[in-house]
Structure formats: structure tokens, C-alpha cells
Amino acid sequence: MDVSVEHAGNLGRRVKVEIPADRVKQTIDEKIRRVGEKAHVPGFRPGKAPTQVLFQRYGDQVRQEAASELIQSVYSEALEEAEISPAGQPEIEMGEIKTDAPLAFTANVEVYPEIELTGLDALSVERPDASVTDDDVDNTIERVRQRNATRETAERPAQEADQVTVDYTGYKGGEAFDGGSAENVTVELGSNYFLADLEASLHGRSAGETYTVEITFPDDYQDEDLAGQPASLEVSVKSVEVDVPPALDEEFIRGMGVEEATVDALQSEVRNSLEEQVKNAIESKVKSQVMDSVYEANPIDVPEAMVSQEIERMRGEAKQNLPEGMQGDDEMLKQILPDSALREQAVKRVALGLLLSQIISDYGLEVEKARVDAKIDEVAASYGDQADQVRNYYQQNPQMIEGLQAMVMEEQVIEKLLEDATVTEKSMTVDDLLSEQNQSGGA
């Protein structure tokens, strides 16, 4: 078997293979013999048709099957001989196959990039420094109460944060203008969503009041005929409502999943939750900076086959977040998330995966089993009485274990790189830290 290699770009390789004629003939002859054992050819008893007749009837099919079998059997041998480790499946170009001639084919493959890591001893990381305070705990509880508030009629004039429902009619030059009237419009005071002059006029108003307010439309108002123009609104206040949060009582606390329904127990639960969120947010922010620094310091070409696979994986991740009725529509998902929208992030993911693999190899890192076991215990503990079943499930499921091993190895890589990094502390409030985390979408 003759093997030669041509370069096609940085990562592309054209592996040209020629299989000797005798091996081709042997494979074809064996296949035609097997066909002849079962073939029903008119005028001949089963298994007795002459080879020439079999070739006339089945020759093209047999030659194609033989070619496929030969290519499949020698492909790995050819790569080994050419000292190539492919990144993805090959594209095969096959020449004509004849019974008494060599079979030539070309395997177009991509290889992994050769990586020489740089800049790992010059990483600079800003680690957030945030501690959970009593105010953070109280503010979190208050936000939960506000999310569970009920809307009630306010027996007083409207004030900030109230919901005021109005009817209004707009006049310009004393004449009502098109699109200037509306009924049952609810304005949240302080939201700055409606016209500023209208919202300001509602402060101190009570249900049942009717009044006129002079306004000026903003210069960038959507209706060009009204933009920057003065007008007046005749406003009828129909209702003033206020959001009333639930009392911080036993019922509310139990509803938050705290069995010991006391304020102290609730505060303790919230503090523990916030501290866990802060810990995860700090780790995520540090990890993100390390990863970005490694990526920027080590630009590499990545195999297109791996990028395509990553794009499909990312699309699959997005699919899980779609409403159940839309999850089966792959074509629609491709329209919403075309390859072009995912490519940049996919390239970065693939590159980082290759870079991390090189770091693991260069530093000789191995997964610490004790840390994997600790991860299993951590996950299991969150299931309470079912912890033992969850632990057994993980231990008996190789895929789950592999996932945890990858997570632990990534942590070990980050820790190793931080040993030589310049780390500075940045003081942050818990709200700012968690807000940044939410905006970035996490790790």
C-alpha cells in the first residue's frame, strides 16, 4: 500500500492511498463468490451461476461494496503510516475501481494544531472581594417579599411606585388628534416608561379625579408629526393601586422552604444561599479571566470539523431552553441560531478545549479522585433523604462520572495557572458581583 500526504492549508491534509491490485482483486473475488452462493440467476441452479454471469448482473454493486470495505479497512493503517491524528471524519475522494487494477483514493482530513503554550507565567487576574452582610440578607428577603406582593387599592393619593390606571384624550391646537386617546392605561409611577409630563402629573392624584395637563412630546417621539410639539391631555384617574408585600410571618417563611419558621432561621438560610452564590460568582469570574487570558495569549487554528460539532452542541444546549412544543423543530432553531451567530463562540470553545488539553499534558496533571468523590457527595447532599440513591446513580453511571472528572480537571488547571498569576483583590458589594454574574450569563 502506497501512502503520501499533501498539505492543504495549516490543518488540512490530503492523504493519498493506493491499494495494490492483488488485494483489490482478492476482495472483489471473495465478494462475488459470496453473492454467487445465494444468487438466484434465471437458467441456473442457486449457487451454480458462472462468475462471468454474476459479474454481468452484480459487478457494479460488488465493486462498490468492495471499494467501501477496502477503504474502511486500510484508512486507519494509512493514517498510522502517515503519522496523522485526524480531528474529525474524513471526506473521501475515490477513483475508478477495476478488478485487476490498484484502487486509489484520497482522504481529506484535518489535524490538530501543534501547540506551544506561551504567556502562562504572565497571567493577571482581578479577584472580587465580597462578603455577605446583614443588609444583603435583609435586602434579599425584601426582594422576595416584593416579588410575592399583592396589588390592592390605595386609599390615598398616588405616590411613587403606585400603579395608576387612567383614560386620556390628547388635544393639539384644541383638536383631538389621531392616536392620542387611550383607556385603562396603567402607569407605574417612577418607571419612566410613559411620557414624563403625564407621569409627573399623576403624583398626588386620587381615583375619580379628572384634570388637564400640558405636555411636550420628546424630540425623538415615534410619531414625527408630534415630535417636539406641545399638546394637552385630558386625564381621568380610574384607580390607584399599591403592591403590598406579604407579612414576614410563619406562613411566608414556610412558603420559602424553611421548616423552622422563624425570622432567624430564614435569615440563616438566605445567608448560606448568598454565600454559596458569592463563592460561585467569584470562582466563575476568576475562571473567565484565566480562560480569556490563555485564549488571547495563544491564538491557534482550530479544525473546522470540531467547530461544526461545537455549533451543533451549542444549538442543542439552546434547544433545551425552548418551550416544549418548539423543541422538535430543528429547522426553525437553525433559522433562529444560524451557524454565523454561533461560530465565534464555538471557535473559542474548541480552541480553549485544545489549549487546556495541552496544559494538562505539559503539567502532567491527573484527575484527583478524592475531589471527584467530594463532588458526588456535594450533589447527593442536595437531595436530602435520597442522597444515597443519587450517590449510587453517579457511581454506576460512567457518563456522569466523566462529566464530574472534566469539571474537577478544569478546576485543577485553573488552580495550577493561578500559582504563577498576578492576582489582585477588587472590593465589590454582593449586589454588584451577582448582578455582573447574571449579566454575563455565568461561567
Where along the chain do its domains lie?
2-110, 129-134+252-440, 150-244
Query: At residue 443, does pLDDT exceed 60?
Result: no
The full DSSP string for 400-431 is HHHHHHHHHHHHHHHHHHHTTSEEEEEE--HH
Q: Which range, 82-86, 92-96, 318-322, has the best average confidence (pLDDT)?
A: 82-86
Cell 497571567: give the residue: 123
Cα 424 to Cα 430: distance, rounded to the nearest angstrom:
18
Please report the pLDDT score of residue 362 as a whole number.
Answer: 95
pLDDT in tens, 89-102: 899 998 888 878 89
Helix axes 21-38, 51-82, angle to 10 degrees: 140
The answer for residues whose C-beta is within 8 angstroms of residue 84's C-beta and 6 or more apart is 5, 13, 15, 109, 111
Say which CATH topology domain 2-110 has.
Alpha-Beta Plaits (3.30.70)
Average pLDDT over residues 379-390: 88
Band (pLDDT 50/70/90 cuts) for residue 326 is low
Band (pLDDT 50/70/90 cuts) for residue 442 is low
Element (H, E) at 40: none
Burial 215-232 (b: 16+ CB within 10 A, else e): bebeeeeeeeebeebebb
Average pLDDT over residues 107-120: 94
Average pLDDT over residues 217-239: 91
Grid cell in block for residue 435: 448582578
Burial 28-59 (b: 16+ CB within 10 A, else e): beebbeebbeebebeeeeeeebeeeebbeebb
Query: At residue 214, does pLDDT exceed 80?
Result: yes
Query: At residue 125, does pLDDT exceed 90?
Result: yes
3-state class (DSSP) for residue 237: strand
Query: At residue 254, does pLDDT exceed 60?
Result: yes
Half-sphere CA count of 426, side-chain side, radius 13 A: 14
Adjacent-strand bridge partners of 2: 18
Please report the pLDDT score of residue 327 as a whole number.
Answer: 56
Cα 310 to Cα 306: distance, rounded to the nearest angstrom:
6
310 contacts 318 by C-beta, under 8 angstroms: no
Query: At residue 252, does pLDDT exceed 90?
Result: yes
Gyration radius of the chain over CA positions: 35
Instruction: Share the mean pLDDT of the chain.
Output: 91
Out of 131-135, 202-206, 342-346, 375-379, which region has the weakest mean confidence (pLDDT)? 375-379
What architecture (CATH level 2) is domain 150-244?
Roll (3.10)
Residue 74's alpha-carbon distances to 78, 82, 90, in angstroms, are 6, 12, 13
Query: At residue 335, does pLDDT exceed 90?
Result: no
Percent of the chain clearing pLDDT 90 (strictly above):
66
Query: At residue 35, does pLDDT exceed 90?
Result: no
Percent of the chain clearing pLDDT 70 (strictly above):
98
Band (pLDDT 50/70/90 cuts) for residue 328 is low
Query: Quick one: DSSP state of residue 257?
Result: T
| HEC-encoded secondary structure of 328-369 | CCHHHHHHHCCHHHHHHHHHHHHHHHHHHHHHHHHHCCCCCH
3-state class (DSSP) for residue 192: coil
Superfamily holding 129-134+252-440: Trigger factor, C-terminal domain (1.10.3120.10)
